Amino acid sequence: MGEGPKRPATYEDLVALPENMVGQIVDGELIALPRPASAHGRASSRLGGELYGAFERGRAGPGGWVFIDEPELHFGRDVLVPDLAGWRWERMPETPNAPFFTLAPDWVCEVLSPSTTTLDRVRKKRIYAREGVKYVWLIDPEARTLEAYLGDGRQWVELGTYSGNERVRVAPFEALELELGVLWLSERKAP
């Protein structure tokens, strides 16, 4: 006999995953993947470092944001974990001390890896649009690209695709010139 319909994943399914796995529930499906490779983590960490001073601390930049690495976002039945997310202070004046967030971020960044590209580009972007996320950035450390999108609640408008060692100003963080090459560096450079 064939299998019947799958039961929708629950939060308990996420909690039961081993610690070395990143779990999400997308459209009722449990998606569990091992932690990403170092190029992925370094690109995410470096981008967060670049944005933090200017946009959270207000050093040489406008401030007004709070950033969280790998926040757990609960949107109805969906549980997503972007690599980075940012909320404008006026929308989240105090950061809740909670294991997850229900308030959609203003900006999310997904760092692509071969196992997550389709998930991040299609399914998660669709949910971010539904939830009112205003900006999505997709970073591909292997291709050395940054794609930026602006959402209007229904669809995504591409703001631009940037690559290599370009220096760019990209919404919503156009007050800072971002040196993309910093995201791809694999070796340490002396200060």
Q: Please give the CATH number for the structural domain made up of 37-184.
A: 3.90.1570.10
pLDDT in tens, 172-184: 999 999 999 999 8
pTM recorded for the entire structure: 0.88
Count the residues in the chain.
191
pLDDT beyond 80 at 5: no
Q: Where are the domains of the chain?
A: 37-184
Q: Which of 114, 174, 176, 105 is nearest to 135 (CA)?
A: 105
pLDDT at 190: 52
Structure tokens belonging to residue 91: 């929308």
pLDDT category of residue 188 using cuts at 50, 70 and 90: low
Give the three-state DSSP class for 128. Answer: helix
First-to-final CA distance of the chain: 65
